[in-house]
Structure 1
């Protein structure tokens, strides 16, 4: 995963790399401050969410949702 603090501009990134190499800037990465239990719990909900929603819909509702999604996906501007 890319670091959000790094500049996207090539010249600015090159300067940052040079500063890190010469010791003018530190290359410290922020430590992970997320609670592992909360991460695991959120992942559990995410894994079963789509299946639970699909099982609660009727075949007609699923068909309508799929048709709308296809129409959006293939829409020409």
Structure 2
């Protein structure tokens, strides 16, 4: 479902709701303008990214990255 832009001001929102209820304004949501083929291609790249990167690293590089991540994760805040 597409997100619609609604007014943030309470009075303007109330007027919009009243206009929609009385038929003076349209309550149409914008159509999805994404290209399905492009979405599929982007999803394919996202599925193989981490595994492809990990397969290119040596065990020493993976260990170094993991240690650095653990240090950041468990770092004590002063």
Please give the range of the TM-score, normalised by the shorter of the 2 chains.
Answer: 0.5 to 0.7
**Structure 2: stretches of 5+ with no match in the other structure:** none
Q: What TM-score, normalized to structure 1?
A: 0.67
Cα deviation, 1:12-33, whole Å, max 9, x if unaligned, reads: 3755653343126654322111
Aligned length: 73
The TM-score normalised by the length of structure 2 is 0.67
CA distance in 2, matches of 1:67, 1:32: 43
Structure with greater contact order relative to length (CA < 8 Å, sep ≥ 6): 2
RMSD of aligned C-alpha atoms? Answer: 2.9
Structure showing greater radius of gyration is 2
